[in-house]
Amino acid sequence: MIQMIIDFAFKIIVVVAVFHLSKTLGGVTSIVDGNPLDTIKHELDNLTFIDQRLSVVYPLIQKFKNRIISDPLNITKSWVGSDICSYTGFYCDNPPDNLTAITLASIDFNGFQLTAPTLDGFLDQLPDLALFHANSNFFSGTISSNIAKLPYLYELDLSNNLFSGPFPSSILGMNTLSFLDIRFNLFTGSIPPQLFTKDLDILFVNNNNFIQKLTEILGSSHIFYLTLANNKFYGPIPGSIAKYFSGLSEVLLLNNMLSGCLPYELGFLTETVVFDAGYNLLTGPMPFSLGCLKKAEVVNFAGNLLYGGVPEVVCAMANLANLSLSDNYFVQVGPICRGLIKKGVLDVRNNCIRGQPEQRSAVECMAFFSKRKYCSYKQTYHLPCLSPGFSDSPMGLVVLLAEVVVKEVELQSRF
Ligand SMILES: *[C@@H]1O[C@H](CO)[C@@H](O)[C@H](O)[C@H]1NC(C)=O
């Protein structure tokens, strides 16, 4: 009981302290003395606005300003008077429905470090807003379903805040949205598959706590830029991957919980410059088809459970600048790959490759290879593209294939 009273008293002290802090920081209109809404209404009577649309948003801004509990950069100091278009972070323009009117068209709070418990009653009430960027603040709470009623909003950036709870499904109702960035928040649960059928060009959902099967979120998406890294997506990479990521120059799947064998169809990601599936639970041999990623510069499979030989055709890719295969169970590299190791392009540390430095111990390799492998080699050596020196001489492939098989038989008998 006494503990409860102490806790309660402590909470009151914190609340009062926060209010005083907010009064000293950024000249926030007083919350404790009198009713702030009355104050705002009173101010409104004495102000003249260049457009009636601005007088509508004025009280919303002031109400939001009252909710800000920390403003270390003194941003809100400029949020006074009728000239909303000159407030720091606020930008005016002509609305699409009336090109002679002036309205609040975009908000850019990027890096302002503002703390507020919610954006409800603010963001979702600004009728002409086209862009809302609020990267790197301390906004939290949930996103109001009213956001779907904003007719012009097409860019929404809430990245690097403290939003939590399930994916804000109200976003699904926004028909104009083309850019959605909710990276670096604390969202959990799953992403509704409908999101991927929307007309989004860019979608960043990385660095949240989404837990979901990868195959569930790959709908009929034609998103131009999609990042899924650093969540808890699980399950295999589907063979249909190229259909979903075909236009993407960066496929970022790193730091999830993806498992299963690598699909042959990865070789159809012909536009991919960066393919990063590092630190998952992917297994199986590396398909030769990866050698068809003609634009690939960075390929990362480090920290998985891949085994077999590193295909020479992959090491032979013309634009390759960084191939990370460390922390797997590869057993062999050919001459082209060895050349890349020398140049510092290919990293094979902590594998099971005899003759290479910094490999796993024989015991570790033995333990891995003694477990049953279920990935089929059926399409591993199939090359769906022309690759100079490889498709020209299928014998080269056959020889390499034989080498790898011999090597693995050798290894398995060795362990
Ligand atoms: C290559 O990529 C890996 C993983 O993406 C990264 O950790 C490493 O620093 C890169 N190496 C070079 C030399 O750029």
Domain ranges of the chain: 45-414
Q: What pLDDT shows up at residue 197?
A: 78
Q: Which atom of ligand 1 approaches the CA of 302 most closely?
A: 4
Q: Is there an atom of ligand 1 within 6 Å of 322 CB? A: yes
Q: Answer yes or no: is pLDDT of 149 > 70.
A: yes
pLDDT at residue 30, as a whole number: 39
Dist CA 79 CA 101 (whole Å): 21
CA of 338 to the centre of ligand 1 (A): 17
Angle between helices 362-369 and 394-414 (to 10 degrees): 100
Please tell me if the CB atom of residue 324 comes closer than 6 angstroms to any atom of ligand 1: yes
pLDDT at position 31 is 42
Element (H, E) at 298: strand 298-300
Distance, CA of 226 to CA of 83 (rounded, Å): 38
The alpha carbon of 136 is separated from its chain's Cα centroid by a whole number of angstroms, namely: 15
Looking at domain 45-414, its CATH class is alpha beta
Q: What's the pLDDT at 1?
A: 45
How far is Cα 131 from Cα 89, in angstroms, rounded to an integer?
A: 11
Q: What is the mean pLDDT of residues 165-175?
A: 90
Residue 20 CA: distances (Å) to CA of 7, 31, 35: 20, 10, 16
Q: Which residue owns the Cα nearest ligand 1 atom 10?
A: 322
Ligand 1: does its nearest atom lie under 6 Å from the Cβ of 255?
Answer: no
Of 250, 253, 300, 340, the one to substitute when testing ligand 1's pocket (max ligand atoms within 8 A of C-beta) is 300
From the CB of 326, is ligand 1 less than 6 Å away?
A: no
Longest dimension (CA), the chain: 89
The predicted model scores a pTM of 0.76
What are 284-323's pLDDT values in tens digits? 999 999 999 989 999 999 999 999 999 999 999 989 999 9
Helix 36-45 to helix 52-67 angle (10° resolution) is: 150
Give the tens place of pLDDT for each residue, 250-281: 889 999 999 999 998 899 888 899 999 999 99
Kind and range of the H or E run holding 74: none
Rg of the chain over all Cα atoms, to the nearest angstrom: 28
Determine the average pLDDT of the residues in 392-402: 47
Across the range 373-382, mean pLDDT stands at: 78
State the SS3 of 129-198: CCEEECCCCEECCCCCHHHHHCCCCCEEECCCCCCEEECCHHHHHCCCCCEEECCCCEEEECCCHHHHHC
Kindly state the helix (H) or strand (E) to which residue 308 belongs, with its residue range. strand 305-310
